[in-house]
Amino acid sequence: MNDMRRSLFQNILWTLPAEVAHNIRMALLGVVGLIPSGKWWLRLCHAPQSKNLEREVFGIHFRNPVGLAAGFDPNGDRLEELAATGFGFVEIGSVVPRPQPGTPRPRIKRLRSSNSLIDNSGYPCRGLEYILNNLRQRGSYARELVIGCNIGHLTASHREDSVKEYLRVFRNMYQYVDFFVINISCNTASKRFILRNREEIQQLIEPLFEFRRGQLDYRPILLKISPDLTKAEVDTIIDLLIETPLDGIEAVAGSIEMARKSPGAVTGALLTERAIEIVRYIAQRTDHNYPIIGSGGMMKPEDIRHMMEAGASLVALNTGIRENGFRLLKKATEAIATIDNKED
Ligand SMILES: Cc1cc2nc3c(=O)[nH]c(=O)nc-3n(C[C@H](O)[C@H](O)[C@H](O)COP(=O)(O)O)c2cc1C
């Protein structure tokens, strides 16, 4: 079950630069989606079969707990095909109000020996209008998919403007997505937007709570945190979770510290241990009372099982799928089913 040998196709992709490989995968996914029965075939090949995978988390029904993290399909271009593939949810974004190109290429470096990446993509995004258009036009598969919207900091704008810009994205996306993830650790070559203290974070999220109070439908709001936070900083986040209307935490983003002198953030296997450790700590301190999306270094089924055992309610994958392919989805859900069977 823990066998994650790569397929021939995956081995070919692995010889290519990381971003080129990802773009080829996404383009092929688009082509398969256009072929008659293409989506049916995607479902047949990849969709999880294990029983008892359904979850109710922060009031939302998930068909299985394995989803895609931000940055995999940032603009929501392949929601229909990813839904057919069988993911439990897809987090689009980071969404920013205006288009931004990200860092010049090459900007994603492979650390082959450690099965990791250094992501210095700088959150390329086609902007709010483009993404809204994709959401409005989503097809029948994507309409059934749980979609999270990750909101990030627009690199070109000033730090002081972030509060109104996050709110703008939040308001516009509110009726089109199921939950929100507020990215408070955006890292680009030219600028870092990393919020660590309580006042700054509260300033950013209070207007979102305020807007939500006036709506008929409830959309959960989560904070996405960096693995580089100190224990005291993680405690601050936990206090916020307990004392404000926040609904959960996504832990973790890429690590800037692990990238040392290279610009960017480490993702993939180098993150696994730290990500699980942080999730375990948050779950223990909150008596497992708040939902946590576990992310970071989920490369093989046993990582995902350990993450769920540590207290994650859901897991969000990125590098694991880029480097191992969609077959990881089914294997991950099989590993989760073994926990559930043990508990029965
Ligand atoms: C190429 C790439 C782009 C990413 N873009 C974003 C992004 O736009 N917003 C965000 O919050 N996280 C982004 N991430 C971080 C992932 O969502 C995830 O938190 C991180 O990669 C750790 O998970 P992983 O080890 O499974 O990749 C990106 C990661 C990669 C590899």
228 near 257, Cβ under 8 Å? yes
What distance in Å separates the CA atoms of residue 48 and residue 186, rounded to the nearest whole number? 32
Nearest CA to ligand 1 atom 3: 71
Q: What is the whole-number distance in angstroms between the Cα of residue 98 and the centre of ligand 1?
A: 20
- Show the tokens assigned to 335: 């590993």
CB-ligand 1 contact for 205 (6 Å cutoff): no
pTM above 0.95, yes or no: yes
Residues of the domain holding 209: 8-343
Evaluated on CA atoms 94, 315, 2, 258, the torsion sign reads positive
Residue 332: inside a domain, yes or no? yes
- Ligand 1: residue of 75, 117, 318 to mutate (most ligand atoms within 8 A of CB) is 318
Residue 226: inside a domain, yes or no? yes
Residue 167: inside a domain, yes or no? yes
Residue 3: inside a domain, yes or no? no
Q: Longest C-alpha distance within the chain, in Å? A: 54
Domain count, the chain: 1
Residue 2: inside a domain, yes or no? no
CB-ligand 1 contact for 304 (6 Å cutoff): no
Instruction: Give the pairing of strands 192-194 and 221-225.
Output: unpaired
What distance in Å separates the CA atoms of residue 1 and residue 160, rounded to the nearest whole number? 49
pLDDT in tens, the chain (344 residues): 446 788 899 999 999 999 999 999 999 999 999 999 999 999 999 999 888 999 999 999 999 999 999 999 999 999 999 999 999 999 999 999 999 999 999 999 999 999 999 999 999 999 999 999 999 999 999 999 999 999 999 998 888 899 999 999 999 999 999 999 999 988 766 678 888 899 999 999 999 999 999 999 999 999 999 999 999 999 999 999 999 999 999 999 999 999 988 899 999 999 999 999 999 999 999 999 999 999 999 999 999 999 999 999 999 999 999 999 999 999 999 999 998 666 65
**Tally of CB atoms within 10 A around 247:** 20
Residue 57: CB partners within 8 Å, gap ≥ 6? 65, 248, 291, 313, 314
Nearest CA to ligand 1 atom 9: 94
Residue 1: inside a domain, yes or no? no
Residue 79: inside a domain, yes or no? yes
CB-ligand 1 contact for 183 (6 Å cutoff): yes
Angle between helices 162-173 and 198-213 (to 10 degrees): 30
Residue 124: inside a domain, yes or no? yes
- Ligand 1: residue of 103, 180, 226, 267 to mutate (most ligand atoms within 8 A of CB) is 267
The CATH code of the domain that includes 102 is 3.20.20.70
